[in-house]
Amino acid sequence: MAYKHKPTFIEKLAESVGLIPDLHEDYGTEIPSLTEPGDLTKFPPPEQWDDWTEYEAKGWGKKEKKTYSIVPTTCFNCESACGLLAYIDKKDNSVRKFEGNPYHPASRGRNCAKGPATVNQLTDPDRILYPQKRVGKRGDGKWERVSWDAALDDIAARMRKALQEKRNNEIAYHVGRPGHEGYMDRVLKAWNVDGHNSHTNVCSSGARFGYNLWHGYDRPSPDHANSDFILLISAHLESGHYFNPHAQRIMEGMMNGAKLAVMDPRLSNTASMADYWMPTYPGTEAALMLAFAKIILEEELYDRKFMETWVNWREFLRAKRTDLDVTFENYIKAMIEAYAEYTPEFAESESGVKKEMVVDIARRIGRAGSRFAAHNWRSASSGNLGGWAVSRTLHFLNVLTGSVGTVGGTSPSSWNKYKPKFFDNPPAQKFWNELHFPNEYPLAFFEMSFLLPHFLKEGRGKLDTYFTRVFNPVWTYPDGFSWIEALSDHDKIGMHIALTPTWNETSYFADYVLPMGLASERHDLNSYETHGAVWIAFRQPVLREAARRRGEKIEHTYETNPGEVWEEDEFWIELSWRIDPDGSLGIREHFKSPYRKDEKINVDEYYQYIFEHTEGLPEKAKEHNMTPLDYMKKFGAFEVEHTAYEKHLNVIPDADMQGTTVNEETQQVLKDGKPIGLMVDGKPRVGFPTPSRQQEFFSQTMIDWKWPEYDIPTYIKSHIHEENMDRSKGDFPLVPTFRLPVLIHSRSGNSKWLNEIANRNPVWMHTSDAKNMGIRNDDLIRINTDIGYFIDKVWVTEGMKPGIVACSHHIGRWKRPQDETNNRWAMNTVKIDTDGDGKWKMKTIQGITPSNSDDPDTARIFWQDGGVHQNITFPVHPDPISGMHCWHQKVRIEKARPGDSYGDVSVDTNKSFEVYQDWLKLTRPAPGPNNERRPLWFPRALKPSSEQFFMEGGPKKKE
């Protein structure tokens, strides 16, 4: 219903004689509406995506029109990879905005704040556009622009030499956010390098370990939308894997009557929305879960059919209760006895959650039955010594209720995640890098990445070539000063190459900083367990695709990216090609096109192969008269399976059944004496990838690996348990791990729209604690950790559990005066001093300040407080079993002392090293049975060849 202003006689006259500009001129034909008035639709129809005209909001007064090419890609701010549609202005080939992609099965056209904010990152006035090479000492902050050729040749030559000298273990690739499916594993295997290092052990490996012990899958995929009761040890209505897709479905479930319960000592937005908020004392969650379990057992609310079939209860009774007959009834009895102490009263005394609520929730979980959805993402499992017991006891509830893999229940992640087929699969590497998987941590679920500086300090090895990619340990990891020390030491790290779209604290200590594309400037394949389906999505460089649509021939993504910004996919192909110029290292062959003989593969071909081999995609593409690759370029996503549940019931293929026997009592299908499945309802079913093919209530693995006390789900008292606190001295457990809905670690500092919403991180403290300590809101406090302290402001609130403090980790970014201006919406300027012997001081000398740039908004910055960097004052706390860094810690809080300033940080890395050694003492090192480095059935990132799984001397049979 187009509006037309009717001018008064005076205005008409004034315009006609030219006294004032004519604002009533004809602005041309109106754009036809897609719908009848009042009936609005969400997105332009895909037929018009190549040539879509709409009014420009900013020129609305004059009905300005813009014509776009609409190209899908996926967001790269968090891990969810939600769909985005880029609106590319056909006039100047710039991205005007991002909206959601309605064809993305997980995000369904909707996004969180970080999706549309991607456009800020593209136009960030401080982004790195050209390769930079260090001048002067590492960390001096001086850089010169170099060509990609020079950088690639330099790095490739160095790596070639290392590989020729069999120093394969001196090459490492350390990634923060992978954002792809399997790409790097292929590259590293092609190099024959056990060089994958990830951030997972500061993130999620605690929970992964607990889940894995049960059923060989390391993450949950709750089917929130169809559930009756949702239990979150997470804050999925604002953060986490996978915030937006999960938040949509949690709400869908709630609107359909599901109840939501949340454990969190802090009133998260999620806790605030919950029907039940359980402000638990951090680290006591497992006690609560076992109390729920006990009630479910005693009140017979469990799913007998599922448990009887799918739990390895016979093993348990035989090993632990030889006094009892092996019957299911006795199993229940034995469990009730095993968990006798977990009364509601005990749960309350440990966790602080009222016993009435404990009983209420337990019954609701029991009643929800197979429609019980649960998730533990980070939170307690990432904060506490023994945090993995939290997810283990949580999954126990799924097992009890028979909600494993059901509609409305909780599936293993892999059931809802697609495994792509690659054009070439290099053999597993023939190395085991003990810098990543040291023998002290045989069960560590991922690489002990956060101990790397200490391992280097101990002389366990060194790195010749060290790639960091979307990875900022100096800032994100605990103990950042130890990282600075390691990164500054040329003897320990020969060359550090930072692959990043934007400057960050770690890149200040690199030799090369190589600019890589943002979400819409790169290729990646995504697939995540967001709900009871399986999907893939295609992250693609949208300007490249727009150029292709215009008929331009583009060979490399950097041709359409700004400046000389590359994408990693092409970087690794090019680098691998140069490492092995003559093919003698056997690397080149893995980077040859499957479509053009002996020629270097290009990125289109790489994905072409995957899409051609994705079930159902070629057929779907054919319906649109497209190739699978073109279909993905056009729609950006594909649903491989619309529903995906109960895959443990899949029937074992006949071929695999050759030579099998069935154990009559357990119904296990045995091959070579080992279970490969279970006979259920007369058919051989695959079951779960555990030694028993069942859900392992009882874990022989834990016994074999010297942790018999944890053979069944247990509650492990955290290192921050109340009994370790001296309240009279100001001790508090600090919860430093929570996310905000608008920020994402160090990847969002370059977005103005996100940082204007959140830019400081005060310490949350309950009113009563503040009162006791004589602290007022906004007062400065000194938070003492075991290795130093930081000075922050206090946020006094009723939304925090008394006796606990919390501080978000997204905020407190910094640059030194000598560093390039970057992320100016988020960066404090700091002065760092060291005595050269481990004592470090950091002082914030300037907050966030308006300045001039290509973006006029930098001059309009209205905030000054850029928060405080807390993580750098944390020592490492490696869990001796899962290897997870236990983020929570005891801190001693006092009022700021005279001379303390907001943002001050002080650390002694000698103390960090001592804390590391203390925690190292808790380990029970390999070998395990048969001289194994690690249980053979455990998944491992970048799994090496099988002989590598044994320590020196190879497999040794039990004597």
Partner 1 sequence: MNYGFVIDNRKCIGCHACTVACKSEHDVPIGVNRTFVKQVEKGVFPDTQRMFSVLRCNHCEDAPCVTICPVTALYTREDGIVDFNNNRCIGCKSCMQACPYDALYIDPETSTAAKCNYCAHRVDIGLEPACVNICPEEAIVSGDLDNPESKIAKTLGRHQVTVRKPEKNTKPNLYYIDGDLGSLTPNETVKGDQTLWGSQSRGVGHYAKYAEKVANKNKQIDYDQVNLQTMLKEKVGDTVATWAGGEGESCASGRSSADNHLDKALKSNDARRVYDTPDKGILWGWEVSGYVLTKAISAGVMLLLVIGYFLNSAFSHPFMTIRIEAIWTAIILGLVFLGATGALLVKDLDQPKRFVYVLLRPQWNSWLVKGGYSITIYGALISLFGLAIYMEWTLVAQVTIYITGFFAVIVAIYTAFLFAQAKGRDFWQSPTLVFHMLIHSFMAGAAAYMMVDAFIEIGISWNYFVNMVMKVAIIANLFLVLIELTITHPTTDAKEVAHMIVKGRYKMLFWFGSIITGNIIPFLLVLFVENTWVTGFAGLLVLIGIYFTEKIWIEAPQRIVLT
Q: Which of 227, 248, 468, 666 binds partner 1 (CB under 8 A)?
A: 248
Three-class secondary structure of residue 345 per DSSP? helix
Helix orientation angle between 355-368 and 344-351, rounded to the nearest 10 degrees: 120
Binding characters for partner 1, 911-950, by CB under 8 A (x = yes): ----------------------------------------
Q: Which amino acid is at 18?
A: G
62 binds partner 1 (CB under 8 A): yes
Q: Which of 128, 207, 267, 763 binds partner 1 (CB under 8 A)?
A: 267
User: Taking the complex as a whole, how short is the minimal distance between the CB of residue 543 and partner 1, in angstroms?
Assistant: 18
Which residue number, 41 or 724, has a Cβ lying nearer to partner 1? 41
Q: Is residue 393 within 8 Å of 710, Cβ to Cβ?
A: no
767 binds partner 1 (CB under 8 A): yes
Segment near partner 1 (CB under 8 A), from 32-40, 301-309, 520-528, 624-632? 32-40
10 binds partner 1 (CB under 8 A): yes
Give the integer Cα–Cα distance in Å for 417 and 528: 5
User: Taking the complex as a whole, how short is the minimal distance between the CB of residue 225 and partner 1, in angstroms?
Assistant: 12
Binding characters for partner 1, 597-636, by CB under 8 A (x = yes): ----------------------------------------
Which residue number, 99 or 303, has a Cβ lying nearer to partner 1? 99
Give the integer Cα–Cα distance in Å for 481 and 912: 9
User: Taking the complex as a whole, how short is the minimal distance between the CB of residue 723 and partner 1, in angstroms?
Assistant: 23
Give the footprint of partner 1 on residues 65-124 (CB under 8 A). Answer: 97-100, 109-117, 119
Segment near partner 1 (CB under 8 A), from 243-251, 626-634, 730-738, 938-946? 243-251
- Helix ranges restricted to H, 179-303: 183-191, 205-215, 243-255, 269-273, 285-298
| HEC string for 403-446 | CECCCCCEEEHHHHCCCCCCCCCCCCCCCCCCCCCCCCCCCCCC
User: Taking the complex as a whole, how short is the minimal distance between the CB of residue 739 and partner 1, in angstroms?
Assistant: 12
Q: Which amino acid is at 638?
A: F
Task: Give backbone dihedrals phi and psi of 804, rounded to 5 degrees, phi first.
Answer: -125, 145
Q: Whose CA is closest to 225, among 645, 508, 539?
A: 645
User: Taking the complex as a whole, how short is the minimal distance between the CB of residue 42 and partner 1, in angstroms?
Assistant: 5
Q: Whose CA is closest to 72, among 611, 628, 636?
A: 636
Binding characters for partner 1, 772-811, by CB under 8 A (x = yes): ----xxx----------------xxxxxxxx-----x--x
User: Taking the complex as a whole, how short is the minimal distance between the CB of residue 38 and partner 1, in angstroms?
Assistant: 4
157 binds partner 1 (CB under 8 A): no
Binding characters for partner 1, 301-340, by CB under 8 A (x = yes): ----------------------------------------
Give the integer Cα–Cα distance in Å for 857 and 916: 44
Q: What is the per-residue DSSP string for 600-630? A: BP-HHHHHHHHHHTSTTHHHHHHHTT--HHH
Binding characters for partner 1, 190-229, by CB under 8 A (x = yes): ----------------------------------------
- Which two structure tokens, joined as six digits, stand for 618? 């070629």
User: Taking the complex as a whole, how short is the minimal distance between the CB of residue 24 and partner 1, in angstroms?
Assistant: 10
Which residue number, 150 or 859, has a Cβ lying nearer to partner 1? 859
Question: Residues with Cβ < 8 Å from 271, sequence gap 6 or more?
Answer: 235, 262, 264, 277, 279
Q: Which of 30, 144, 153, 552 binds partner 1 (CB under 8 A)?
A: 30
34 binds partner 1 (CB under 8 A): yes
Which residue number, 422 or 902, has a Cβ lying nearer to partner 1? 902
Q: Which of 50, 129, 148, 251 binds partner 1 (CB under 8 A)?
A: 251
21 binds partner 1 (CB under 8 A): yes
Q: Is residue 234 within 8 Å of 477, Cβ to Cβ?
A: no
Please count the other Cβ atoms lying within 10 Å of the Cβ belonging to residue 94: 14
Helix orientation angle between 285-298 and 328-338, rounded to the nearest 10 degrees: 140
Task: Give backbone dihedrals phi and psi of 917, rounded to 5 degrees, phi first.
Answer: -65, -35
Please count the other Cβ atoms lying within 10 Å of the Cβ belonging to residue 4: 6
User: Taking the complex as a whole, how short is the minimal distance between the CB of residue 662 and partner 1, in angstroms?
Assistant: 48
Strands 905-908 and 889-895: unpaired
Strand partners, 621: none
933: which DSSP letter?
S
Q: Which of 26, 29, 35, 921 binds partner 1 (CB under 8 A)?
A: 35
Task: Give backbone dihedrals phi and psi of 70, rounded to 5 degrees, phi first.
Answer: -100, 120
User: Taking the complex as a whole, how short is the minimal distance between the CB of residue 410 and partner 1, in angstroms?
Assistant: 21
Task: Give backbone dihedrals phi and psi of 788, rounded to 5 degrees, phi first.
Answer: 170, -150
273 binds partner 1 (CB under 8 A): yes
Which residue number, 116 or 927, has a Cβ lying nearer to partner 1? 116
CA 800 to chain centre: 25
- Which two structure tokens, joined as six digits, stand for 570? 């092409």
Q: Which amino acid is at 940?
A: R
44 binds partner 1 (CB under 8 A): yes
Which residue number, 405 or 847, has a Cβ lying nearer to partner 1? 847
Q: Which amino acid is at 148?
A: W
User: Taking the complex as a whole, how short is the minimal distance between the CB of residue 516 and partner 1, in angstroms?
Assistant: 23
Give the integer Cα–Cα distance in Å for 638 and 615: 10
Give the CB-side neighbour count of residue 864, counting CA atoms within 13 A: 3
850 binds partner 1 (CB under 8 A): yes
Give the integer Cα–Cα distance in Å for 218 and 140: 42
Strands 905-908 and 839-846: antiparallel
Give the integer Cα–Cα distance in Å for 184 and 187: 5
Give the footprint of partner 1 on residues 725-754 (CB under 8 A). Answer: 740-742, 752-754
Tell me the number of residues near partner 1 by CB under 8 A.
116
Which residue number, 494 or 802, has a Cβ lying nearer to partner 1? 802
User: Taking the complex as a whole, how short is the minimal distance between the CB of residue 10 and partner 1, in angstroms?
Assistant: 6
152: which DSSP letter?
H
- Helix ranges restricted to H, 639-751: 654-657, 700-704
Give the footprint of partner 1 on residues 402-461 (CB under 8 A). Answer: none
Give the footprint of partner 1 on residues 863-902 (CB under 8 A). Answer: 863-865, 901-902
Q: Which of 94, 439, 714, 846 binds partner 1 (CB under 8 A)?
A: 846
703 binds partner 1 (CB under 8 A): no
User: Taking the complex as a whole, how short is the minimal distance between the CB of residue 43 and partner 1, in angstroms?
Assistant: 7
CB-based burial label for 767 (10 Å; 0-12, 13-18, 19+): middle
Which residue number, 498 or 842, has a Cβ lying nearer to partner 1? 842
CB-based burial label for 732 (10 Å; 0-12, 13-18, 19+): buried
Q: Which residue has the tokens 């946020």?
A: 795
User: Taking the complex as a whole, how short is the minimal distance between the CB of residue 485 and partner 1, in angstroms?
Assistant: 23
Task: Give backbone dihedrals phi and psi of 232, rounded to 5 degrees, phi first.
Answer: -115, 125
140 binds partner 1 (CB under 8 A): no
Which residue number, 439 or 767, has a Cβ lying nearer to partner 1? 767
844 binds partner 1 (CB under 8 A): yes
Binding characters for partner 1, 485-514, by CB under 8 A (x = yes): ------------------------------
Give the footprint of partner 1 on residues 223-242 (CB under 8 A). Answer: 237-238
User: Taking the complex as a whole, how short is the minimal distance between the CB of residue 850 and partner 1, in angstroms?
Assistant: 4
Give the footprint of partner 1 on residues 376-405 (CB under 8 A). Answer: none
